[in-house]
Amino acid sequence: MKNLTAAFLSLATAASASCVGSKIPTTSSTAVAAQPTTVSSSNVTNPSNSSASSSFAKTNGVLFDIDGVSEYFAGTNCYWCGFLTENGDVDLVFSDIAASGMKIVRVWGFNDVNTKPTDGTVWYQYLSAEGSEINTGVDGLGRLDYVVQAAEANGLKLIINFVNNWSDYGGIAAYSSAFGGDATTWYTNLVAQNQYQAYIEAVVSRYSESTAVFAWELANEPRCDGCDVSVIYNWAANTSAYIKSLDSNHMVTMGDEGFGPLDGDDGSYPYTTSAGGYTWRSNMNITTLDFATLHLYPDSWGQDYSWGTPWVELHGAACAAEGKPCLLEEYGGNNNCTIENPWQDAALATDGIAADMFWQYGDTLPSSGSQTSDDGNTVYYKQGNWDCMVADHITDIKAANAA
């Protein structure tokens, strides 16, 4: 999701609040490498383990194969799951998601700061030109370890991403604060990219043997305003090849919104290369990206809600033509079933769309008795519009899979 910032930050400190200052010019090809990264000491046991009934998720034509089953899958977004500090909260959320019949859960695999919190707030990576640090402690990747463990225990599969385009939880802006440059030069800033790859290596190596990882994801909603489309293309090709070199077990995907021209489109703004600074359809030929993602927020993009159905169908047709699955990875429309049910029905009916994941999952945490982040698009487990937004769709999916 793009920018529901205030609500996003209700669960953790705004990582980027103190990112101003120490801007240095954009690095050139002669720039020196970033200072060595410190990986802080940790007592967290690597939770990765493969049980006999569990296998690495993969593609099967335009479908996903999860633990030997190729069919349409449901999932959801829980960006905050890895920032929870109580194991019991994670256990409850993952057992509720599994009980509902969903299979894929997308969590933020990044939490970048320019100032280390001292109040126990979870952070994963401190970014600084003087030496960055990846936090593998109990207030760092130890929390993501527990998420992986809980996913394993509940038979769920995780999408884990590595950076945010937006400044929530640091994002590209936190890299720029540390290393210079901006939202558009980040993709080619060698110092920033070296640190981004060091972070990727730290996370991927932690869970490379875990069957609870569904896919690694390059970024949340990468965009490059006014850039040549080759910038994101080259970054995606390079980064995905790098991830595959570290881990050949898992799928890799982009995490982008799906912008750019498609056959049969209506010419509206999201179908232009200006919307994201890339051409989604062309990026599909990157062989180290196993499947393509799309998001859907018509109101944020200046479109009517009904515009969403052809958006889903045209992406599915492109994926079917390319022979790769498409994942409708985020969607939101005023948390209104009348608006979103037609998108869900289209996703299920369209060859090439392999799964869909509503934004966003909500629950009531046992440690506090309070509800998780409400950004206006949150659907709480077995409350409010849960049935018409989630349960009924999963029933439809099961029926379609059985047919």
Does 360 sit behind a cis peptide bond, omega within 30 degrees of 0 on the bond before it? yes
**53 belongs to the binding site for ligand NAG (CB under 6 A):** no
Q: Which of residues 163-182 bind ligand NAG (CB under 6 A)?
A: 165-167, 171-173
* Min CB(378)–ligand NAG separation in Å: 15
CA gap 131, 386 in Å, rounded: 46
Following DSSP, what letter does each residue of 314-336 receive, concatenated?
HHHHHHHHHT--EEEEEE-STT-
CA gap 172, 176 in Å, rounded: 6
CA gap 218, 237 in Å, rounded: 10
Three-state secondary structure call for residue 10: helix
Closer by beta carbon to ligand NAG, 71 or else 322: 322
Tally Cβ neighbours within 10 Å of residue 147. Answer: 28
* Min CB(99)–ligand NAG separation in Å: 22
Nearest to 329 by CA among 78, 129, 43: 78
- Residue of 257, 329, 330, 340 marked active site: 330
**338 belongs to the binding site for ligand NAG (CB under 6 A):** yes
Contacts (Cβ under 8 Å, ≥6 apart) of 112: 15, 123, 124, 125, 126, 127, 163, 164, 169, 170, 171, 174, 175
Contacts (Cβ under 8 Å, ≥6 apart) of 335: 376, 377, 378, 379, 385, 389
Closer by beta carbon to ligand NAG, 59 or else 238: 238
Closer by beta carbon to ligand NAG, 83 or else 278: 278
Closer by beta carbon to ligand NAG, 47 or else 325: 47
Return the residue of 76, 185, 193, 293 that touches ligand NAG, per CB under 6 A: 193
* Min CB(397)–ligand NAG separation in Å: 22
Angle between helices 190-207 and 229-246 (to 10 degrees): 40
Q: Which of residues 285-314 bind ligand NAG (CB under 6 A)?
A: 285
Q: How far does CA 67 lie from the centroid of its chain?
A: 21
Q: Which helix (H) or strand (E) holds 145?
A: helix 141-154
Closer by beta carbon to ligand NAG, 101 or else 261: 261
Return the residue of 55, 85, 238, 300 that touches ligand NAG, per CB under 6 A: 238
CA gap 17, 77 in Å, rounded: 24
- Residue of 221, 257, 313, 340 marked active site: 221
**49 belongs to the binding site for ligand NAG (CB under 6 A):** yes
Q: Catalytic site residue 221? A: yes
CA gap 151, 143 in Å, rounded: 13
From 72-80, 112-120, 190-198, 266-274, span contacting ligand NAG (CB under 6 A): 190-198
**223 belongs to the binding site for ligand NAG (CB under 6 A):** yes
- Residue corresponding to tokens 């489109």: 265
Closer by beta carbon to ligand NAG, 171 or else 258: 171
Q: Catalytic site residue 201? A: no
From 4-12, 211-219, 220-228, 262-270, span contacting ligand NAG (CB under 6 A): 220-228
* Min CB(32)–ligand NAG separation in Å: 13
* Min CB(118)–ligand NAG separation in Å: 17
**208 belongs to the binding site for ligand NAG (CB under 6 A):** no
Closer by beta carbon to ligand NAG, 154 or else 336: 336
CA gap 119, 112 in Å, rounded: 16
Total residues at interface with ligand NAG (CB under 6 A): 25
Return the residue of 59, 85, 87, 197 that touches ligand NAG, per CB under 6 A: 197
Tally Cβ neighbours within 10 Å of residue 373. Answer: 19
Q: Provide the annotated active-site residues.
A: 221, 330
Given the rule CB under 6 A, which residues bind ligand NAG? 41, 43, 49, 51, 165-167, 171-173, 183, 190, 193-194, 197, 223-225, 234, 238, 282, 285, 336, 338-339
